[in-house]
Amino acid sequence: MVKARSGIWRRSSAMFAAAGLLVLSGSAFATNQSQQRQAGRNVNQSAKHEARSNKVDCRAANEKSNSQCRQDKRDTKQGGRQAKRDIKY
């Protein structure tokens, strides 16, 4: 009877240990993924801000047409999106 109980304890403790490892690895992955997502958001927001500033400066300097300033803004935002992709994937 003592042997049967010790066998049950071994099996159940091994199952609890395995379940604990699964929970910890899943939460670590989620934390890492959320940090990547936040870093990507930060890069994207800074690219948008830079694009707005560049367009305002471009129009104020009156060096290019409005359509050329818009294209510069699009290119800046696209560069930010690509940087975000590089962080996430």
pLDDT digit string (tens) for 29-77?
678 888 888 999 999 999 999 999 999 999 899 888 989 999 999 999 9
* pLDDT of res. 88: 76
The predicted pLDDT at position 31 comes to 84
d(CA 80, CA 86): 10
Q: Which residue from 89, 86, 88 is spatially nearest to 38, judged by alpha carbons?
A: 88
CB 38 within 8 A of CB 71: no
Query: Residue ranges of the alpha helices (H) in 1-89?
Result: 2-61, 66-88
Give the separation between CA 50 and CA 44, rounded to whole angstroms.
10
Structure tokens at 86: 């590089």
So where are the chain's domains? 2-88
